[in-house]
């Protein structure tokens, strides 16, 4: 009897061990594609300035070795191993011919999927524009708002910059638009969504809790890209460098900002927060990611605009806020751009 029992136990143990090993083998053999630029390979599964091994180019095929939370341990084609955020990895899609059909952000190829019409994008004509601020403007700003002028030194100098024509979303990307992306790609939804659904009644609010990589992934899927810091500033200030999207002064305009007990509002519903080019919510509602690295940092990008919880002086078009790429916060969202190619 004991031999019989031991035999049964041994078989059960073998089945358990086999069942445990099979998923691990499946993970080890999985190959995925890096779907964003500026992706850092790290020595450990955490975002830190001290554990970056290298930067992995977009469209690099990686082998998945293990998973830990929101991170994947990968092996690169050159044999280097490390950790990458799972949010910037995607299975490699194939066309019937076997060629990759993943969109390159840099090339901004159009796709056949249903996208927001270009009617919802505004053409910002190219030309020479005034960007930045001079020291006298910074000193005056510091006095008016009773803040340190050091906060604005990244805006200096005031300069003339030539910008090519481009399209910019008239409104910030909404929860409903982002949900279409999540459903089409099975991309992880924002942290505060429940069962892959945004909070009730916020379909037309700007999507938030979005990292820089998340914004990049959506823009790539939509056949667009994030705007540069310079493009965003021109859209807000015009060619002549006005201070705010609506003009040169802030005097009680209806803009969704400076209310820490408030929250996001439906896009385009604050009539004063509109630029010369009829682009809405560049002053408030949410801060917005750009594709421009903040002062050359690998991990920080320029955030533009103010938000429902931030101060009016941050609504100035020249303002730059450093945002770490991993930020997923309730006052940060984004909108997309597209080169005019004309």
CATH number, domain of 135, equals: 3.90.1580.10
81 and 146 fall within a common domain? no
Which of 9-13, 37-41, 180-184, 226-230 has the least mean pLDDT? 9-13
Supply the pLDDT for residue 68.
Answer: 86
- On whether residue 59 sits in a domain, the answer given is yes
Cα 166 to Cα 53: distance, rounded to the nearest angstrom: 35
What would the pLDDT profile of 328-341 be if each residue is shown by its tens digit? 999 999 999 999 97
Asked if residue 173 and residue 271 are part of one domain, the reply reads yes
Model confidence, pTM? 0.68
Count of the separate structural domains present in the chain:
2
Per-residue confidence (pLDDT) for residue 99, from 0 to 100 = 26
Q: Parallel, antiparallel, or unpaired for β 287-293 and 332-333?
A: parallel
**Segments forming the whole domain that contains residue 47:** 26-91
Mean pLDDT (the chain) is 83
Residue 186 lies in a domain: yes
Report, as an integer, the average pLDDT of 181-207: 95
Within a domain: residue 96? Answer: no
Q: Are residues 132 and 220 in the same domain?
A: yes
pLDDT for the residue 125: 95
Ramachandran area for residue 278 (φ above 0: left; ψ -120 to 50: alpha; else beta): left
Q: Give CA 154 to chain center in angstroms.
A: 21
Of residues 94 and 44, more confidently modeled = 44
Q: Tell whether 185 is covered by a domain.
A: yes
pLDDT of residue 251: 86
118 pLDDT band (50/70/90 cuts)? very low
Residue 103 lies in a domain: no
Which pLDDT belongs to residue 38?
Answer: 59
Q: Is 317 within a domain?
A: yes
In this prediction, residue 92 carries a pLDDT of 54
CATH code, 75: 2.30.30.40
290 neighbors 232 (Cβ within 8 angstroms): yes
Q: How far apart are CA 322 and CA 212, in angstroms?
A: 12
Is residue 225 domain-shared with residue 329, that is, in the same domain? yes
152 & 286 share domain = yes
Tell whether 86 and 125 lie within a shared domain: no
Angle of helix 175-185 versus helix 212-221 axis, rounded to 10:
80
Out of 69, 91, 113, pick the residue that ends a domain: 91
- CA neighbor of 82 nearest in space, from 34, 25, 22, 24: 34
Domain co-membership, 42 together with 181: no
CA distance 304 to 315: 8
What is the per-residue pLDDT across 216-266, written as a single tens digit (0 to 9) for each?
A: 999 999 999 999 999 999 999 999 999 999 999 998 899 999 988 889 999
pLDDT for residue 113: 33
Higher pLDDT, 108 or 183: 183
Question: Do residue 133 and residue 259 come from a single domain?
Answer: yes
Q: Provide mean pLDDT across the span 68-94.
A: 79
Q: What percent of the chain has pLDDT over 90?
A: 62
CA dihedral 229, 235, 241, 244 (to 10 degrees): -100
Q: Return the DSSP state at 149.
A: G
At residue 75 the predicted structure's pLDDT band, cuts being 50, 70 and 90, is confident
């Amino acid at each position: 009897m004991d031999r019989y029992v031991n035999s049964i136990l041994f078989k059960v143990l073998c089945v358990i061990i086999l069942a445990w090993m099979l998923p691990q083998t499946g993970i080890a053999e999985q190959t995925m594609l890096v779907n964003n630029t500026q992706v850092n390979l790290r020595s450990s599964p955490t975002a830190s300035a001290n554990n970056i091994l290298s930067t992995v180019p977009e469209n690099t095929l990686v082998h998945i070795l293990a998973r830990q939370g929101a991170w994947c341990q990968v092996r690169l084609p050159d044999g280097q191993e490390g950790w990458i955020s799972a949010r910037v990895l995607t299975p490699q899609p194939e066309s019937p011919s076997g060629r990759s059909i993943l969109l390159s952000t840099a090339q901004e190829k159009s796709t056949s999927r249903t996208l927001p019409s270009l009617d919802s994008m505004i053409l910002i004509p190219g030309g020479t524009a005034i960007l930045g601020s001079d020291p006298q403007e910074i000193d005056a700003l510091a006095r008016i708002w009773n803040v340190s002028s050091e906060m604005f030194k990244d805006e200096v100098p005031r300069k003339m910059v030539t910008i090519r024509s481009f399209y910019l979303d008239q409104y910030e990307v909404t929860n409903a638009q982002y949900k279409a992306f999540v459903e089409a790609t099975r991309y992880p939804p924002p942290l505060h969504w429940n069962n892959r659904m945004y909070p009730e009644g916020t379909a037309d609010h700007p999507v938030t809790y979005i990292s820089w990589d998340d914004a990049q992934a959506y823009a790539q899927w939509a056949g667009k890209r994030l705007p540069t810091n310079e493009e965003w500033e021109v859209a807000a200030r015009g060619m002549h460098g006005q201070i705010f999207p609506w003009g040169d002064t802030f005097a009680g305009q209806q803009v969704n900002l400076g209310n820490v007990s408030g929250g996001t509002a439906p896009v385009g519903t604050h009539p004063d927060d509109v630029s010369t080019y009829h682009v809405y919510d560049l002053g408030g509602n949410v801060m917005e990611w750009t594709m421009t690295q903040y002062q050359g940092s690998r991990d920080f990008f320029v955030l533009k605009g103010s938000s429902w919880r931030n101060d009016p002086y941050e609504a100035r078009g020249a303002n730059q806020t450093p945002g770490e790429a991993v930020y997923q916060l309730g006052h940060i969202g984004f909108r997309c751009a597209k080169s005019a190619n004309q």
